[in-house]
A and B are shown apart, each in its own frame.
Chain A
């Protein structure tokens, strides 16, 4: 079983839609959680950190459920520019290394 698992998608949604991605992680001792965004042929960039209390940044909301070991990302009012791959990232392991999921592809169409 992979340490971090995501639905690869693709999610094809119209502009203005609300879309949600989930991610599960296997190591219950994991400390920190993030969502990264990766555009085609570009490097990953931090979208937002995920806190236990949940956090919101404009149209983006991240949630953490430690009991069920999953993380979610909600995107409201999708824009064409949101089209990208969203990577779930967990700080895990004895030396706290960053482990990435395979990513979920989002395609927003007019």
Chain B
């Protein structure tokens, strides 16, 4: 399967714990996005990489969230000291840099904080 891969698919964690999600984009894609989606809402932009450079981080994102893409390939999203409000689907997408190119999404990681 050469699509976008996210792991784990589901994560249940206790409040206050740290969690880390991984995204493996389509191999030739240089853009990688992280989004958060809650029920009834569209994907909310979190952060975005072009190769290994993190170009932008949403102002909505607290300091508890950090993302890396160390070699311009896979990316990780870490949430420290999780809160119940962090419960959501975390989606990763990748695309080429050119305009009008499709972004492909992974199946997401569903986080439940109890």
Q: How many interface contacts (CB-CB < 8 Å) are there between A and B?
A: 53
B60: interface (CB < 8 Å)? no
A48 to chain B, nearest CB (A): 10
B113: interface (CB < 8 Å)? no
19 A-B interface contacts by CB (under 8 A): A8-B40, A34-B102, A43-B105, A43-B106, A43-B108, A44-B105, A46-B102, A87-B42, A87-B43, A94-B56, A95-B48, A97-B56, A98-B33, A99-B45, A100-B44, A101-B42, A102-B41, A102-B42, A103-B42
Where the two chains meet, the residues of A that have a C-beta atom closer than 8 Å to any C-beta of B are 4, 6, 8, 31-32, 34, 42-46, 49, 87, 91, 93-103
16 more CB-based (< 8 A) A-B contacts, given A87-B43, A95-B56: A6-B42, A43-B91, A45-B105, A46-B103, A49-B102, A91-B99, A93-B56, A95-B48, A97-B56, A98-B45, A99-B45, A100-B35, A100-B45, A102-B40, A102-B42, A103-B41
